[in-house]
Structure 1
Amino acid sequence: MSKKISAENIKELRNKTGAGMTDCKKALEASDGQIDIAIEALRRKGLASADKKFSRLAAEGLIESYIHAGSRIGVLVEINCETDFVSRQPKFHQLAKDIAMQIAACQSVICVFTSDIPDDIIIYEKSLELQKEDLLGKPIEIKNKIANGRLDKKLKELSLMNQNFIKKTEITVEELVKQHIALWGENIKIRRFERFFLGEGLKSKNDNFKDEISNMIKNK
């Protein structure tokens, strides 16, 4: 005999996932009232359509910050969703915190998507690959094929969405975002971020001291 699904059960699942009332009821009925199984069912159901939701407008959301231990590295990140309801969810706030921490940890990352990487960087990186010693003397078609493969790998290293998620390395950041799209049934986008290093752009005291000594020697 299946467990009776109460309005309180449906409300609890909706609060945890942001899914529609009907979907929550069906998921609970299929899982015999087990919340955790119902959450996984809703996630699986939405994963197939996550790619389609990527193009939908996401204008709600929040700006999250992360300051690393020692207060020498800081990150600000804007992450968007479609509704204020989702932006208030604790899981959405946790996602934003995780993304901010990811950005602090992956210091080679400069953009959210590979498509955001400036053309001058792409041209520069490809020129470096074409000049590698192991490509010297190879036919131009082979050189370009190998260089393009290496370039693709390099660009992924610069892209946030292609990084392995630091808390669960078997998935990428893109897959992490898609899981949350599936969970709530609406688009989620990491729009932009900024990383700060203490003293970045400033000469250290040691460098200033060296300059002072150098000037003293020149003026003698």
Structure 2
Amino acid sequence: MTLEISSTLVKELRQKTGAGMMNCKKALQETNGNFDEAIKTLRQKGLASADKKVNRKAAEGLVNSYIHTGGKIGVLVEVNCETDFVARHEQFQDLVKNIAMQIAASSEVIFIKTEDIPQTFFDKEKEIELQKNDLSNKPNDIREKIILGRVGKTLKTLSLLNQPFVRDPSITLEEVIKEKISFFGENILIKRFTRYTLGDE
């Protein structure tokens, strides 16, 4: 017997995840109406299907600006998708606005993703960690693991996609984008961004 799911719950799950109505209903049925588990199921399925699309060419999209309250922080960002149809969609436009807000809120971010970080930057961070006194008495193999762990953590703080999403810190910005990739069936990527802070050189 299939569990009957209320349309209100399905609609709420759709608004939360951006997934289609039928997918939301099916996820709720599979998890016996457990809302949090249904979100997890949709994310797992969505991320799996989104990963297949991330290498497809995306040449349409939007350039958006965001000025933070008080006018002391400003952002310009270009987000690409595959078709003009998606670029004009309200959910895509909301995503671009949220990405711009994310950049404004992420003062340490320099790169879009960790793969963009140059090897020289990695080597410099590793050298800094090597000089720290708290590692001097550790065996070499343990010390190397600790250093790589610390450097990896630092690099994630510099990567936009690794940031906790401003509207839901339980997920990263990368997961939000992959949910939209799954929803639209198109690749979506952040092409470039600039963050302006009043008084910076």
Equivalent residue of 2:74, what SS? strand
Distance in 2, Cα, partners of 1:120 & 1:47? 31
| 8 Å Cα contact 2:66-2:101 kept in structure 1 | yes
Which is strand-richer, 1 or 2? 2
Distance in 2, Cα, partners of 1:168 & 1:184? 21
Distance in 1, Cα, partners of 2:173 & 2:151? 20
| 8 Å Cα contact 2:66-2:100 kept in structure 1 | yes
Moved more, 57-66 or 123-132: 123-132
Distance in 2, Cα, partners of 1:47 & 1:119? 28
How far 1:131 sits from its partner (Å)?
1.2
How does 1:163-174 map onto structure 2 within 5 Å?
A: 163-174=163-174
Equivalent residue of 2:168, what SS? coil
How does 1:127-142 map onto structure 2 within 5 Å?
A: 127-142=127-142
Equivalent residue of 2:124, what SS? helix
Q: Which residue is 1:82 aligned to?
A: 82
Moved more, 125-134 or 95-104: 125-134
Q: Which residue is 2:152 aligned to?
A: 152
Q: Which residue is 2:48 aligned to?
A: 48
How far 1:149 sits from its partner (Å)?
0.8
Q: Which residue is 1:103 aligned to?
A: 103
Structure with larger Rg: 1
Q: TM-score, normalised by structure 2?
A: 0.77
Structure 2: unaligned runs, 5 residues or longer: 1-17, 27-38
Equivalent residue of 1:191, what SS? strand
Equivalent residue of 1:49, what SS? helix
Distance in 2, Cα, partners of 1:180 & 1:131? 43
Q: TM-score, normalised by structure 1?
A: 0.71
Distance in 1, Cα, partners of 2:103 & 2:178? 18
Equivalent residue of 2:171, what SS? coil
Runs of 4+ in 1 over 4 A off after TM superposition: 43-46
Q: Which residue is 1:13 aligned to?
A: none
The one-letter code sitting in structure 2 at the alignment partner of 1:162 is N
Structure 1: unaligned runs, 5 residues or longer: 1-16, 32-39, 202-220
| 8 Å Cα contact 1:46-1:185 kept in structure 2 | no
Distance in 2, Cα, partners of 1:137 & 1:169? 37
How does 1:1-220 map onto structure 2 within 5 Å?
A: 27=22, 46-201=46-201
Equivalent residue of 1:171, what SS? strand
Equivalent residue of 1:177, what SS? helix
- Note the aligned Cα RMSD (angstroms): 2.3
Distance in 2, Cα, partners of 1:73 & 1:82? 30
The one-letter code sitting in structure 2 at the alignment partner of 1:153 is K
| 8 Å Cα contact 1:75-1:104 kept in structure 2 | yes
Equivalent pairs counted in the alignment come to 169
Distance in 2, Cα, partners of 1:47 & 1:197? 34
Identity %: 55
